[in-house]
Amino acid sequence: MDDQIPWAVRRIILLLTLISVLNFVDRQIINILAEAIKRDLALSDTHIGILTGMAFAFFYAALSLPAARLADRYHRPRVLGAAVVVWSAFTVLCGMAQNFVQLALARMGVGVGESACTPTAHSLISDYVPLNKRASAIALYQLGVPIGSMVGMAVGGIVADNYGWRAALLLVGLPGLAIGILVALIAPEPRRDKGEGESAGAAAAANGPLSSFAKFIALLASRRSARMMLPAYGLSSMVQYGGYAFVASFFLRTHNQELVQWAGSISAFLGLPFGPVSMIGILYGVCSGVMAGIGLWLGGRIADAGGEKSMTVMLTLPAWAHLAAAPFTIGTLFAPSLLPAIICTSFHAFLTGLSAPAYFASILGLVDARNRATVTAVFLIVSTFVGLGLGPLLIGLLSDYFNHGLGFGSMDGLRYSLTALAALAIPSSALLFLSRQDYAREFVR
């Protein structure tokens, strides 16, 4: 961001970025703690699957739209602050849970709170900064994804190894209680820009008493670009969430011996008990997090610069990035040893980060300012139900079939299921390419 954006606004966007970090720390840390929780509470893999997926995803998706509609009509910093307090409190309760039911209920609460975060934050950013800096501002906010995932995996694993999984959850949950109150008190509610270039009919559908959800959906469905962008987003989310869900399992199954050796060397050097889980948390979390952060920064700059000339860049950039990431997925899965696999997955993270600012900014350009939290929620619902719901499930089903049905074994079964899912990058990119001209014509400032 440059001098066009006042320092007061920059500070608020940095605060939103910190909230984004907390969002993904609290969401992802459960994945690295799963084995410790499973042992302590005597849970099954099915229980763990519910805790990491369904318990969070269902309530997150189901409440995204109501929370977004609330943000589109009321004081957004207060809505966001309340959401942060809610999910942070439930993260703390996760660390106090004594059985599966208590932990599942607490995870549902995390999903309830986080459902309001991104739609509200994106809506605020779209009104805090000018259009030609929107992608860069969103890129800064989206840095919370790799940073939060990195902190969740690396710090969560280390704290769990030394102090237990409960301490890890308490550590990441408590700061959010104060930060939620802070954003509600100090972040200003910006003026909602009514948007430029909308037809009279679209403007009528987006404002006043006619602004019902049914009319909003009709407005969104009338845009040909949106009809192609939604399935493209769903397919790309399947690839990403499916990979995230099983990346640690893949490395532990395929490169476990090397992870044990690396962990032993670090344990001897630092005097701390590191195991293969902590090792993959640090390696994958840090390497992928840093590369994704670089990609986000660069993607925001490219999108802002290209968007001043033609809005088609908002979809061209993610389309090419999705295609280019697929070979690095294959490289990760078929690398002969740990180091080249980590290098390949790091470049995959870079390309994923590169695509995000333009893509999220393009979503905001589908509707006027009074409906931007809602349109973000619609895309997040598709991402959650299709990506988080079907992506890991499809990989699990394929892996079991390749393992038991075809006799490939556990390691190769997972490898080939991840390979099959990576092919979805082709139709996802094709849909984005096809929607470019329609998007440029239908774009709302």
Q: Is 61 part of a structural domain of the chain?
A: yes
Annotate 77-110 with three-state secondary structure.
HHHHHHHHHHHHHHHHHHHHCCCHHHHHHHHHHH
Please check whether residue 2 lies inside any domain of the structure: no
Number of domain units in the chain: 1
pTM: 0.74
Three-class DSSP labels, 104-148: HHHHHHHHHHHCCHHHHHHHHHHHHCCHHHHHHHHHHHHCHHHHH
For residue 262 the two structure tokens come to: 């690396």
Q: Which of 183, 63, 192, 189 is nearest to 127 (CA)?
A: 192
Residue 418: Cβ within 10 Å count: 22
Residue 358 lies in a domain: yes
Beta carbons within 10 angstroms of residue 272's beta carbon: 12
Domain contains 1: no
Q: Assess if residue 393 is contained within a domain.
A: yes
Residue 319: CATH number of its domain: 1.20.1250.20
- For the chain, residues with pLDDT lower than 50 are 194-210
pLDDT tens digits, 259-310 = 989 888 888 887 777 878 788 888 888 888 889 889 988 888 887 777 666 6
CB 274 within 8 A of CB 402: no
423 vs 284: CA distance, rounded Å: 22
Domain containing 208 equals 7-442
For residues 142 and 296, is the Cβ–Cβ distance under 8 A?
yes
Distances (CA, A) of 1 to 5, 134, 135, 148, 294: 7, 9, 10, 21, 15
Q: What percent of the chain has pLDDT over 90?
A: 21
Distance (Å, rounded) from C-alpha 41 to C-alpha 164?
13
Task: Classify residue 392: in a domain, yes or no.
Answer: yes
Does 398 reside within a domain? yes
The rounded Cα 369 to chain-centroid distance in angstroms is: 22
Continuous segment of H or E residues that includes residue 265: helix 256-270
| Residue-wise pLDDT tens digits, 135-184 | 778 778 878 888 888 888 888 877 877 788 899 999 999 999 999 999 88
- Cβ proximity of 31 and 171 under 8 Å: no
